[in-house]
Homo-oligomer: A and B are copies of this chain.
Amino acid sequence: MQNFEFQLSTRIVFGRDTIKQTGAEIARSCRKVLLVCGKGSVRRSGVFDAVVASLRDAGVAWVEFGGVRSNPLLSQVHEAVQLAKREGVDGILGVGGGSAIDSAKAIAAGAASDRDVWAFIDGTATVEKALPVFAVITLAATGTELNGLAVVTNDITKQKWPLRSPLIQPRVSILDPTATFSVPRDYTAYGGVDAFSHVVEAYLVWPEPSTPLQDRMSEALAMTIVEAAETCVRSPHDYEARASLMWAAALGWCGLIPAGAGRARLPNHMMEHSLSALHDVPHGAGLSAIIPGWARYMVESGQSGKLPRLARNVFGVNEKDDRKAALAGIAAFEAWCQRLGSPTRIGQFGSIPKSALPAIVDNAAVTAIAWGMGDAYPRDVIAAVLDGCW
């Protein structure tokens, strides 16, 4: 095991009807928040109204910044930072899925600084303060509700990169599984794939070999996500499945599970960010379209690693030969994605012609270097992997 430091500083309020507690939780430290949300689903689902009623009851004032789009844009963050400063808010409340919460985090860093937020992302500056962030999460997917990460896309450079700082980790996160009842089938599926991918990509690629507990916890999460996501897609109002998926997604990317395993640099996430930055596909859909091709590339290039173990322990593959087990595991992952209704090849996105490949590869090659994976993923490797995903 490797040395590590870890703190799960977010206060977690989990369960049915917990959205009612939002205002009281925020009122402990803030008087006026910027309420950051998306384009309409939180209004249609009633979550927005419940949050606002709770703020009102607790005497917390709020200003809305709505219309955050998926794969949130830096230009929107800039706009919201100006609004936050103008209105003199003392906290940022994200309500929605990963896009709303990630935006809230980036805004929180920007609103407490004179620097351009992108400087915190490209590494030219470090976040030194941030307004407190609060989250009401309505999608089991990214795990943003329990970490200090925010992924933002630069409109100009088309780089979809993360902002990392413990200061933007939510102070309180409200996880109410009933808030995910109205998530449509496709986004439920993509969220499940994203959550699975955080856990499993890390498990497959972290550098430390001696991680018996981390391996087993990862498998525990992965099995639960596989099982729960399928139930959620079939029975959107199944509270237990929604709750398990929500909790597994949150735990899966909060840093606890891979603590001690060394830093995992996720190759599928690296490549998918280029896909969604350039073609605006949902992140989870992009992942499920890339993972099978990447995994086959790993098998064919003699880098199966823990793929056979994943196949056996998570997908129940009963096969002694490692290569066959790995391939059967990949097939089982594809079958799971198909049952969820998530693509397993990039070619399935009607909107992305094969001629788009070189630009995606160029974009990803820059990300690979920025994320410290340039050695393992030079341009030709990325091209070979993505070509195999079509």
Residues of A within 8 A of B (CB): 1-16, 18, 177, 210, 212-213, 216-217, 219-221, 223-224, 227-228, 239-240, 243-244, 247-248, 251, 256, 259-260
A240 contacts which chain B residues (CB < 8 A)?
A: 1, 210
Asked whether A9 lies within 8 Å of B9 as measured between CB atoms, the reply is yes
A219 contacts which chain B residues (CB < 8 A)?
A: 216, 220
A259 contacts which chain B residues (CB < 8 A)?
A: 12, 14, 247
Given contacts A7-B10, A14-B6, A260-B14, contact A1 B216 (CB under 8 A): no
Q: Give the shortest distance, in Å, between A306 (CB) and chain B (any CB).
A: 15
Asked whether B213 lies within 8 Å of A224 as measured between CB atoms, the reply is yes
- Scoring A9, A228, A243 by chain B CB atoms within 10 A of each residue's CB, the highest score goes to A243
Given contacts A15-B2, A16-B3, contact A220 B216 (CB under 8 A): yes
Q: Give the shortest distance, in Å, between A225 (CB) and chain B (any CB).
A: 9
Please, how many angstroms separate the alpha-carbon atoms of A69 and B97 in the complex?
51
A9 contacts which chain B residues (CB < 8 A)?
A: 7, 9
Q: 4 more A-B contacts (CB under 8 A) besides A7-B10, A14-B259?
A: A1-B244, A4-B12, A7-B11, A14-B260
Asked whether B1 lies within 8 Å of A12 as measured between CB atoms, the reply is no
A223 contacts which chain B residues (CB < 8 A)?
A: 216
A-B contact pairs, 15 of them (CB 8 A): A1-B177, A1-B247, A3-B14, A4-B12, A7-B9, A7-B11, A8-B8, A14-B260, A210-B240, A212-B224, A216-B219, A216-B223, A217-B217, A220-B220, A247-B259
Pick from B8, B11, B228, B239: contact of A5, CB below 8 A.
Answer: B11
Q: Give the shortest distance, in Å, between A255 (CB) and chain B (any CB).
A: 11
Pick from B6, B15, B224: contact of A3, CB below 8 A.
Answer: B15
Pick from B4, B15, B213, B244: contact of A221, CB below 8 A.
Answer: B213
A6 contacts which chain B residues (CB < 8 A)?
A: 11-12, 14
A1 contacts which chain B residues (CB < 8 A)?
A: 14-15, 177, 239-240, 243-244, 247
Given contacts A217-B217, A220-B220, contact A212 B244 (CB under 8 A): yes
Asked whether A213 lies within 8 Å of B247 as measured between CB atoms, the reply is yes
A12 contacts which chain B residues (CB < 8 A)?
A: 4-7, 259
Please, how many angstroms separate the alpha-carbon atoms of A239 and B251 in the complex?
27
Q: Which 4 A-B pairs have the closest CB atoms?
A: A3-B15, A216-B220, A8-B8, A1-B243
Please, how many angstroms separate the alpha-carbon atoms of A246 and B247 in the complex?
25
Q: Give the shortest distance, in Å, between A19 (CB) and chain B (any CB).
A: 12
Asked whether A4 lies within 8 Å of B14 as measured between CB atoms, the reply is yes
Q: Give the shortest distance, in Å, between A386 (CB) and chain B (any CB).
A: 33
Q: Give the shortest distance, in Å, between A200 (CB) and chain B (any CB).
A: 15
Pick from B8, B14, B248: contact of A213, CB below 8 A.
Answer: B248
- Scoring A1, A5, A177 by chain B CB atoms within 10 A of each residue's CB, the highest score goes to A1
- Scoring A3, A9, A259 by chain B CB atoms within 10 A of each residue's CB, the highest score goes to A3
Please, how many angstroms separate the alpha-carbon atoms of A251 and B260 in the complex?
13
Q: Determine the residue in chain B with the shortest Cβ distance to A172.
A: B7
Please, how many angstroms separate the alpha-carbon atoms of A6 and B256 in the complex?
14
Given contacts A224-B212, A244-B212, contact A5 B14 (CB under 8 A): yes
A10 contacts which chain B residues (CB < 8 A)?
A: 7
Please, how many angstroms separate the alpha-carbon atoms of A269 and B14 in the complex?
28
Please, how many angstroms separate the alpha-carbon atoms of A29 and B56 in the complex?
36
Q: Determine the residue in chain B with the shortest Cβ distance to A3.
A: B15
Q: Determine the residue in chain B with the shortest Cβ distance to A12.
A: B6
A13 contacts which chain B residues (CB < 8 A)?
A: 5
Q: Determine the residue in chain B with the shortest Cβ distance to A223.
A: B216
Please, how many angstroms separate the alpha-carbon atoms of A4 and B243 in the complex?
12
A7 contacts which chain B residues (CB < 8 A)?
A: 8-12
A16 contacts which chain B residues (CB < 8 A)?
A: 3
